[in-house]
């Protein structure tokens, strides 16, 4: 699979987790790997107090040393490189790097203090999930010690729904499954994404009928020759449903961006945010419009 993966790297546990997932995805998908450290740009500093050149050189030198150390941990069969970028925000620097390198994914780690093996969004991830033009992959806390880089992508699961962007999500999931050799699974959380105020009977009806219908339509709309297993999530809430679904070692899950997102941008929806509370595998959030689309439908949120 052509393309590359950009990892938002820092010399922290979160950076190590992002590196572990990024390297595993790069190997599993046959992509190159770019580790990017983003430092504050000169425009963010106080103009009345010019920075000392020695300090500038020290910070840049330290960042390059961190990158060399991190790159030494990546298996030799993965094409990789390290980069130092200056930008007003870490997220903006990653998006710019992703666009520069033609990245298929931007990978970031969980926030400090996250429960081992679970997700917790930090400020960088949150900003990316509300502005990136490129799909964002979220690493689980502890990935650096819990995940082997040579673990294959065993299955790609797509959480399908009825909102705009479902076709883009299915195409991306099918593409990743084909590139990795993993199985493709479609799950529906539609029964839990309903207006407030519905009684239990109405919710049950949606769960039993509409959810199955969504899965059938999604499976039928897959690219020619692509097969997938389908599974209807059941439970009293999104979190409960995710907790009761079976998950494999090496699995990744894809979700679509919220309907509130602008064209070719991400915006994390409420259902995806709830999934993160219980999800034991990496999540990839996909923009609901392709980068080549020239649609303005997102302006009508």
- The predicted structure's pLDDT at residue 165: 57
DSSP 56-93: HHHHHHHHHHHHHHHHTTS-TTS-EEEEEEEESSHHHH
Cβ atoms within 10 Å, residue 145: 10
User: Tens of pLDDT along 79-89?
Assistant: 999 999 999 89
Q: What is the mean pLDDT of residues 45-73?
A: 80
Beta strands in the chain (DSSP E): 4-8, 32-40, 80-87, 103-108, 136-138, 155-160, 183-188, 229-232, 252-256, 283-286
User: Tens of pLDDT along 148-183?
Assistant: 899 999 999 999 876 655 788 899 999 999 999 999
Q: Are 266 and 131 in contact (CB under 8 A)?
A: yes
| Strands laid side by side in the 229-232 sheet | 80-87, 32-40, 4-8, 103-108, 136-138, 283-286, 252-256, 155-160, 183-188, 229-232
- The predicted structure's pLDDT at residue 292: 44
User: Residue 299 corresponds to which tokens in the numbers above?
Assistant: 């302006």
Q: What is the mean pLDDT of residues 220-236?
A: 83
Q: Are 112 and 13 in contact (CB under 8 A)?
A: yes
* Residue 296 scores a pLDDT above 50: no
Q: Are 253 and 159 in contact (CB under 8 A)?
A: yes
For residue 202, give every residue at least 6 positions away whose Cβ sits within 8 Å of its Cβ, in sequence order, or none: 194
For residue 112, give every residue at least 6 positions away whose Cβ sits within 8 Å of its Cβ, in sequence order, or none: 12, 13, 14, 122
Q: Percentage of residues in the chain with pLDDT exceeding 70?
A: 78
Q: How far is CA 119 from CA 192, 228, 242, in A?
A: 20, 26, 13
294 HSE (CA, 13 A, CB side): 0
User: Tens of pLDDT along 237-292?
Assistant: 888 889 989 999 999 999 987 655 455 557 677 788 888 889 999 999 998 766 54
- The predicted structure's pLDDT at residue 267: 63
Q: How far is CA 44 from CA 47, 51, 89, 127, 170, in A?
A: 9, 11, 9, 18, 40
Task: Look at 147 and 72; give whichever has higher pLDDT.
Answer: 72
* Residue 299 scores a pLDDT above 50: no
Q: What is the mean pLDDT of residues 178-199?
A: 74
- The predicted structure's pLDDT at residue 297: 37
For residue 49, give every residue at least 6 positions away whose Cβ sits within 8 Å of its Cβ, in sequence order, or none: none
Q: Are 128 and 36 in contact (CB under 8 A)?
A: no
pLDDT band at 191 (very low <50, low <70, confident <90, very high): low
- The predicted structure's pLDDT at residue 44: 45
Q: What is the mean pLDDT of residues 9-35?
A: 96
Q: How many residues does the chain have?
A: 301
């Amino acid at each position: 699979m052509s393309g590359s993966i950009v990892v938002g790297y820092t010399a922290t546990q979160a950076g190590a987790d992002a590196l572990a997932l990024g390297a595993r995805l790069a190997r599993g998908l046959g992509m190159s790997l770019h580790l990017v450290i983003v430092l504050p740009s000169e425009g963010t500093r106080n103009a009345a107090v010019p920075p000392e050149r020695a300090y500038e050189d020290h910070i840049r030198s330290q960042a390059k040393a961190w990158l060399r150390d991190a790159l030494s941990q990546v298996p030799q069969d993965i094409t990789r490189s390290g980069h130092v970028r200056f930008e007003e925000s870490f997220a903006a620097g990653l998006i710019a790097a992703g666009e520069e390198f033609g990245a298929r994914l931007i990978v970031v780690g969980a926030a400090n203090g996250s429960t081992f093996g679970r997700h917790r969004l930090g400020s960088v991830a949150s900003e990316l999930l509300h502005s990136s033009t490129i799909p964002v992959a979220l690493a689980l806390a502890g990935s650096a010690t819990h995940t082997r880089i040579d673990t294959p992508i065993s299955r790609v699961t797509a959480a399908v729904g009825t909102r705009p962007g479902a076709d883009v999500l299915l195409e991306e999931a099918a593409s990743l499954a084909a590139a990795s050799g993993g199985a493709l699974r479609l799950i529906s959380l539609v029964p839990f994404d309903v207006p407030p105020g519905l009684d239990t009977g109405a919710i049950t009806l949606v769960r039993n009928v509409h959810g199955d219908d969504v899965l059938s339509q999604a499976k039928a709309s897959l690219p020619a020759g692509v097969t997938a297993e389908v599974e209807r999530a059941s439970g009293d809430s999104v979190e409960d449903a995710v907790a009761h679904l079976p998950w494999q070692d090496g699995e990744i899950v894809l979700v679509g961006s919220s309907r509130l997102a602008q064209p070719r941008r991400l915006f994390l929806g409420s259902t995806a945010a709830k999934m993160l509370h219980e999800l034991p595998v990496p999540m990839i959030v996909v923009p609901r419009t392709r980068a080549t689309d020239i649609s303005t439908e997102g302006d009508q949120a």
